[in-house]
Structure 1
Amino acid sequence: MPPNPTSDLPVHHAVIAYFWAPWHLRRMPGTTPEDRMARAIWCRDHCATLAGRWLLLGFALWMIQISPLGFVFVIGGWPVLGLLFPVTFMVGIAHLVAQLVAQKKAGPPKIDPPVDRDED
């Protein structure tokens, strides 16, 4: 089995890699047009997943804040988790916009042609 390059990362890098597209894109070369196209293809294929993670995080924060446990996260009359919801929502939307821009640059993903199935 080939070594996993992300298994040697510290924990905070693993969390950043789980949520942020710019973290991945900074590690990819971007000097030649082929490299920029590879970055656009990567973003087209993965930014929607990262956006979903941000939106799910925001939803979870909001649900915790409005639950009976939410009073624990009120500091000075400000619902802390409720205030983080718009931030996570905007970051998720930003990832969706990045995915759409990358798809405009790289084109739609390649779809494999249909394969005949044997009914045996």
Structure 2
Amino acid sequence: MPPTPKSDLPLHHALIAYFWAPWHLRRIPGTGPEGRRARAVWCRDHCATLAGRWILFGFALWMIQISPLGFLFAVGGWPLLGLFFLVAFMVGIGHLAAQLVAQKKVGPPKIDPPVDRDED
């Protein structure tokens, strides 16, 4: 995927890129087996980070909901941020599942051999 400077992205694209793996996967060229493999490698390497962002976002929503300010986000007895927490948590788990499936398809990442260091 060609590097895109962040200054060229509008705000909504930057937010989508920060949270959604499909946005990145659509930008990887190729429709054949090599394109599918490139997408799987990217997902193996990055989907866990995106999942962590979603889970932390959901946790922040939950903390706000159970704080003393939580009553501001309750409509008709329904805790709105608590419901959004569930959605964010499920999307995070979905990204983790995608990372596991991609790792099963392309294997674990290659690890560089250890390098001797000088103790100078």
**Structure 1 segments unaligned to the other structure (5+ residues):** none
The answer to whether the 8 Å contact 1:43/1:98 transfers is yes
Give, in angstroms, the shift of residue 55 of structure 1: 0.2
In structure 1, what is the equivalent of residue 55 of structure 2?
55
What is the aligned partner in structure 1 of residue 65 from structure 2?
65
TM-fit CA distance, 1:4: 4.1
Residues in 1 aligned to 2:85 and 2:6: alpha-carbon distance in whole angstroms: 28
User: Is the 8 Å Cα contact of residues 30 and 39 (structure 1) preserved in structure 2?
Assistant: no
TM-score of the aligned structures, taking structure 1 as reference length? 0.93
Tell me how large the CA RMSD over aligned residues is. Answer: 1.2
- C-alpha distance in structure 2 between counterparts of 1:108 and 1:80, whole Å: 39
Matched, 1:95 2:95: yes
Which position in structure 2 is the counterpart of 1:9? Answer: 9
Provide Cα deviations, 1:50-98, integer angstroms capped at 9, x if missing partner. Answer: 0000000000000000000111111111110011111111000000000
* Secondary structure, aligned partner of 1:7: helix
Matched, 1:19 2:19: yes
Q: Tell me, yes or no, if the aligned pair for 1:18 and 1:50 is still in contact at 8 Å.
A: yes
Distance of 2:8 and 2:40 partners within structure 1: 26
Q: Give identity over the alignment, percent.
A: 82
**TM-score of the pair, normalised by structure 2:** 0.93
